[in-house]
Amino acid sequence: KWRVVFPNNGRQQREWDQASRFYSGNRIQTTKYTWFTFLPKNLFEQFHRIANLYFLFLVVLNWFPQVEVFHREITMLPLIVVLLASMSKDAIEGYRKYQFDKMINSSKTRLYDK
């Protein structure tokens, strides 16, 4: 399907209004997360890794008194450290992507108009 591009000269404003309803804006967004989706999406991605699931299994297993080997807090420590390190790395990377997207979206462009 071909996309119709109209120059911004006012004569074809009505045609542009009709055509622009079918297309999204031309804003660039490369970030995976928003402020509201960071924690659930990041935890979902972290627990797709087998090692994190293994440590979560050990934490859950250690909450039963019959199977408890270490203190509950000591068992949770490796999992919490790994999750916090990964989350902070992803947060820093996402913020850098956000800043770069903001810079690209606010940059000046050239417009061809006869």
What pLDDT digit, counting tens, does each position of 34-78 carry?
Answer: 889 999 999 999 999 999 999 899 888 888 888 777 777 888 898
49 DSSP assignment: S
Question: Does some domain include residue 4?
Answer: no
- For residue 7, is it within any domain? no
Nearest by Cα to 87 from 50, 32, 21, 7: 32
Contact between residue 62 and residue 69 where contact means Cβ atoms under 8 Å apart: yes
Q: Is residue 18 domain-resident? A: no
For the stretch 78-98, pLDDT in tens is: 899 999 999 999 999 999 999
Look at residue 82 and tell me if it is in a domain. Answer: yes
Do residues 33 and 94 touch, judged by C-beta distance below 8 A?
Answer: yes
Question: Where residue 18 falls among pLDDT bands split at 50, 70, 90?
Answer: confident
Residue 98 resides in a domain? yes
Q: Per the domain annotation, does 2 fall within a domain?
A: no
Is there a domain that residue 11 lies in? no
CA distance 95 to 80: 22
The domain total for the chain is: 1
Q: What is the extent of the structural domain holding 43? A: 31-106
* Residue type present at position 2: W
In a domain, residue 13? The reply is: no
What's the burial of 19, exposed, middle or buried (CB within 10 Å: 0-12/13-18/19+)?
middle
